Amino acid sequence: MEAPVEQLFDRLQTPEPSVIIYDTYLNWAVAMGNRRNIPVASFYTMSATVFSIFHNSDLILQNRHFCSDFPDPQEKEQLISYIPGVPPMRITDLPTPIHGKGQEVLPRALEATKLLPKAQYLLFTSVYELESQVLDSLKEELPVKIYSLGPVIPSFNIEASIPEEKPDYMKWLDAQPESSVLYISQGSFLSASNAQLDEIIGGVCDSGVRFLWIARWEVERFNGCGNGLVVPWCDQLKVLCHPSVGGFWSHCGWNSTKEGAFAGLPMLTFPLFWDQTTNSKMIVEDWKMGLRVKQKEDDSLVTREEVARLVLRLMDFKSEEAKERRRRAKEIREICMKASEGKGSSEIDILAFIRDFSRR
């Protein structure tokens, strides 16, 4: 990819670009910008917390908290609190390449964060108020200017962007009672094992809670479950903001995490890989707007009985615990909304970034 981009820049007429915004993992973009004397902005598509964890990998190594240092899996349950600005978390809540799955991509992740000081700017899609401590710590540690631009939601006017002819799943949602539907999505690329999926499907069906489930294959697994709708795709943000949706079961990818926060929905977290474990911890422990479904890192099954219990617990409106969780979810939504409004933290940072690179 580097060579075609270099050729494109060679063909560009003056004036030259004011700034190059690159995905943090495209390491070659930094050197290209520096050679051409064009400022570069690293665009990090995960949370600031995850960035800080990789940035402080030397501390993790010094404390012997990499995967190879844990012959006993129970040791991963211990809390660590030495990463600047990051609230205490279990080792198992760190991104999985550090302590489990995906170690083959760890060198690239570490290299990307180590190259960051050669850029001029660092952009996060997070909301400052949701990660203020870690963002402040990074601003002290790094020699680059940092901006938080989140939640980076495509459109605040959700209703206006719905086409005149609604898809069938939106019509189905229109017919459901307010806050009665659990929206379930395990992501586009990775999923749980077949045995675990059977337990999840069985538990959701047994709960009796209405659901809208995104499943791209093996829809026959849902046969006999009459309390929901299964579709291969949907416009997730519009679904999450629909008044009939009252909960969100998520794999905790960063975009889904932000959309759930923006929609103000209590969440059931079922992380599988990479940054999802860290995002799950933030949802449940830091933002206090969710419940963990998958508690352990190992391959032990979450039973259908436990799934049903958690679904009913999340979709409850009567207990004080449930009321507090919904209150927190709404509070998080307000934080996201205000950040993107005029004079909000994200609006201020977007304008500051434009002003800063325009001055060069």
At 69 the pLDDT is: 58
How far CA 342 is from CA of 234, 316, 349, 353, in Å, comes to 30, 35, 11, 16
Q: pLDDT tens, 141-182?
A: 999 999 999 998 876 555 555 556 889 999 999 999 999 999
Which of the two residues, 162 and 2, has the higher pLDDT score? 2
At 180 the pLDDT is: 98
Q: Where are the alpha helices (DSSP H) in the chain?
A: 2-11, 28-35, 48-55, 57-62, 96-99, 106-115, 132-141, 168-174, 194-207, 236-240, 254-263, 276-281, 304-314, 320-340, 345-359
Q: pLDDT tens, 290-349?
A: 999 977 666 789 999 999 999 999 999 999 999 999 999 999 999 999 998 889 999 999
* Alpha-carbon span 235 to 213, nearest angstrom: 12
304-314 and 320-340 helices, crossing angle to 10°:
70
* Alpha-carbon span 305 to 202, nearest angstrom: 8
What is the number of alpha carbons within 13 Å of residue 12 lying toward its C-beta?
12
Q: pLDDT tens, 211-234?
A: 999 987 777 788 778 899 999 999
Please state the pTM of the whole predicted model. 0.92
The structural domains of the chain, ordered by start, are 2-148 (3.40.50.2000), 159-338 (3.40.50.2000)
At 260, the pLDDT band (50, 70, 90 cuts) reads very high
At 73, the pLDDT band (50, 70, 90 cuts) reads low
Across the chain, mean pLDDT equals 90
Burial grade of 213 (CB within 10 A; 0-12, 13-18, 19 or more): buried
Beta bridge partners of 292: 269
Percent of the chain with pLDDT over 70: 92
* Alpha-carbon span 115 to 124, nearest angstrom: 16
